[in-house]
Structure 1
Amino acid sequence: MPQTLQARSLVTASQTIQHPTVTISADGIITKIEPDSAPKTATNTLAATFFDIHTHGGAGHDFMEATPEVFRKLGGFLASHGVGHYLPTTVTASVDRTLTSLEGIAKEIERSSGSDWDAKHARPVGIHLEGPFISHAKRGVHPPAQILPPDIGLFDRFQQAAAGHIRLITIAPEIPGALDLIHHCAQQGVRVSIGHSNATAAEARAGIEAGARSATHTFNAMRPLDHREPGVLGVALDEDALYAELICDGVHVAPELVRLWLKAKGPHHGILVTDSMAAAGMPDGEYTLGTFKVHVADGRALAADDLARGKQTLAGSVLTLDRAVANLQRFTGAPLDVAVRLASNNPAILLGLGDTIDGIQSGKPANFNIFNQTGELEGTMLSGRLVQ
């Protein structure tokens, strides 16, 4: 049956509509949005569902497993935290393992566009290839033996295995051959993000000139800022047109620097991501990220091998995107409309998917996050059906 939603406000990509009534058809499509028609006593805020462009997994599973069962479980897990669409993200592994994972992920992306897809699950809409074309100096937990020099031919093999679904790739621009690969990817419409990089400022700018459009988990796995050599981090913060991811969990980046990032990137070029791994949504314990072990305790995911040697190396996060949005508001004082656009509208625009993913208008699927008056997520609707 048709249904209606009423709220205090509705946050769209370009405006905030006050006291709206949203009419939804029986098949989950928005048919009408009427401003100033809801009771003035309404307290909820409606906004687009989140789009996580950097997630390795959660609920005990890793996207590199690439099986239908894993995607069903993770699709439900992500939806329960407000995510409507996402890019399953790979981690550096052997070429054969990567090819196999890409083939499995591509099948699930194509299945998600079919009529048999469960509307209560977040939809994978592309792949984020993180590695193997990254810097050894800033590899984080990516296994050094599997890191490879940039290679157009190898990327094309990856894209063929992925059936053309690689939409985002992280590359360190300072590595020989990287600029040619960045240009090649950009020419194909694949967005390039600078990350896991020890680039100088000049090398980072060369990457942007070659076609890079974003920075991967800003501050993390980057050359640190120096007042005479700003490096890749300085360029990521200073270059107005460059999008920049942030893991807003209070572990990867201190609140003071979250505030600096928001001031630098503003409401239009900051992107909230999770970089979540299998332990997200799970109790403390031992998990895997790709092929290596991760120890999780007190909200921190650390590479187990490094930890055994007395070194603490972050290995993804246990963050969910609803918590990232709440943390951004808490750390910076940003209003809810700004926080949700950083997790929905901005990533969609970066990938050229703004009209399809976060389009809140008549004729589009009724995908909404519902926030209470304190700015916390209290419900999610996908194609007109409540997830939680």
Structure 2
Amino acid sequence: MILRAEHVLLPDGWHDDVTVEVAGGRVLRISSGSGPAPDLTLDGRVVPGFVDTHVHGGGGASFSTTDRDEVRTVVETHARGGTTTTMASLVTAEIGVLVEQVRTLVPLVRSGELAGIHLEGPFLSEQRCGAHDPALLVDPSPDRLEPLLDAAQGTLAMVTLAPERPHATEAVRRLREAGVRVAVGHTTADEQLAARTVEAGATVATHLFNAMSPVHHREPGPIPFLLTDPRVVVELIADGAHVHDDVLAMAVAAAGPDRVALVTDAMAAAGRPDGDFRLGALTVRVRDRVARLVDADGVEGSIAGSTLTMDGALRRVAGLRGQSLASASLMASTTPARVHHLEGAGRLAEGARADLVQLDDQLGVRAVLRAGRALQTMA
């Protein structure tokens, strides 16, 4: 296939009138100016396909399932928002349940439909559990960690844990030994414990600001350290509900786009109208696109994931003070792909997978190609 792009974002910046030759699902050659007659012409702006490394569901479906068709519904829903590379995040459940869910996902990672598995629980703090069932949270002891590693068969990409839990430091080292990235999140840790956990091998901050001790000028907590340490990449949920735009702008300015990974943390309601949904064993109510836990009496509580897709995150961050579409694209594609060693994803370059998103003037998605194949075309 030969593509002609009017304005395309390459690793060294924007280029006009670019020809992209695709063979075997990968970019064979990129050239400027006139060339062979194109099979497809993409006007507007073209950016690399988005990479979402923290997402739980969408389209009314969830990754926390043993139904592979349900998993594919989530992937297809987020593809309509420009995501061409997806890691499946699992919410807290009993270890045996997680083992079965992981086993369901393994073949889809092997086939390339998913880029890996992320366990956001169950090794989290009860005090900062967010939308995770506190009754199911446990310590990352070897008898709980090893069955999950065995079930994943090398497909486990990331585990979020609270450093204050017993066995956490040993778990960080064991996970790193197994090639799994460790994220600090859902935690009451202070700045010193956060630093020790990074020294032990943690490299990611799970949705910075959310479900962790807040910043105080005399008791900083983990956020300033995670935000400024060059070894750590911070996730940010740019939906306008989880983090105020001014705080988003501050965080990006402090860390830089090469240390920020935009994530959706989306649950089943993404791509669906407002209503009631499930997140693991918990009930979630969505009003005005904000998801919150709801108890048996109908009382709404904490934010429970998002209804975001990555195109929405891109638009919000591109409009922040001091940011641009190019820097937002870096955070939505290139940085998460680099951090998670997702070969061929997150950039438009010779040898990379031919993943791209065509945007209109309002940065809405017009078309999505994954490995050179059209996934979504918008009227």
User: Structure 1 length as normaliser, TM-score?
Assistant: 0.91
Contact 1:306 1:312 in 2 (8 A): no
- Per the alignment, residue 51 of structure 1 pairs with 51
Equivalent position amino acid for 1:180 in 2: E
- Per the alignment, residue 30 of structure 2 pairs with 33
Instruction: Render the CA deviation track for 1:160-212: whole Å, top value 9, x for unaligned.
Output: 11222111110111222111111111122111110001100001001100000
Equivalent position amino acid for 2:117 in 1: I
Secondary structure at the aligned position of 2:71 is classed as helix
Aligned-partner Cα distance in 2 for 1:235–1:285: 38
Residues 153 and 36 of structure 1: is their aligned pair in 2 closer, same or farther, counting only changes over 3 Å?
A: farther
Moved over 4 A (4+): none
Determine if the alignment matches structure 1 residue 382 to structure 2 residue 379. no
- Per the alignment, residue 330 of structure 2 pairs with 341
Gaps of 5+ in 2: 36-41
CA displacement at 1:28 relative to structure 2: 3.6
More strand by share: 2
Secondary structure at the aligned position of 1:331 is classed as coil
Aligned-partner Cα distance in 1 for 2:286–2:34: 48
**RMSD of aligned Cα (Å):** 1.9
Residues 348 and 28 of structure 1: is their aligned pair in 2 closer, same or farther, counting only changes over 3 Å?
A: closer
Aligned-partner Cα distance in 1 for 2:269–2:255: 30
Aligned-partner Cα distance in 2 for 1:306–1:258: 34
Gaps of 5+ in 1: 114-122
Instruction: Render the CA deviation track for 1:29-55: whole Å, top value 9, x for unaligned.
Output: 3221003458xxx85222211111000
Match of 1:256 among 246, 258, 267: 246
- Per the alignment, residue 69 of structure 1 pairs with 69
Aligned-partner Cα distance in 1 for 2:330–2:89: 21
Determine if the alignment matches structure 1 residue 371 to structure 2 residue 359. yes
Contact 1:7 1:21 in 2 (8 A): no
- Per the alignment, residue 288 of structure 1 pairs with 278
Contact 1:307 1:313 in 2 (8 A): no
> Which deviates further from its counterpart, 135-144 or 372-381?
372-381
- Per the alignment, residue 356 of structure 1 pairs with 344
Match of 2:269 among 279, 284, 294: 279
CA displacement at 1:377 relative to structure 2: 2.7
Contact 1:141 1:313 in 2 (8 A): yes
> Which deviates further from its counterpart, 371-380 or 208-217?
371-380
Identical-residue share of aligned pairs (%): 32
CA displacement at 1:155 relative to structure 2: 1.4
Residues 279 and 166 of structure 1: is their aligned pair in 2 closer, same or farther, counting only changes over 3 Å?
A: same
User: Structure 2 length as normaliser, TM-score?
Assistant: 0.93
CA displacement at 1:373 relative to structure 2: 3.9
Aligned-partner Cα distance in 2 for 1:31–1:150: 45
1:303-318 equivalent positions in 2, closer than 5 A:
303-305=293-295, 308-309=298-299, 312-318=301-307
1:104-183 equivalent positions in 2, closer than 5 A:
104-110=104-110, 112-113=111-112, 123-183=113-173
- Per the alignment, residue 206 of structure 2 pairs with 216
- Per the alignment, residue 10 of structure 2 pairs with 11
Count of paired positions: 371
Instruction: Render the CA deviation track for 1:120-160: whole Å, top value 9, x for unaligned.
Output: xxx31100110111111111121111100121332121011
> Which deviates further from its counterpart, 287-296 or 233-242?
233-242
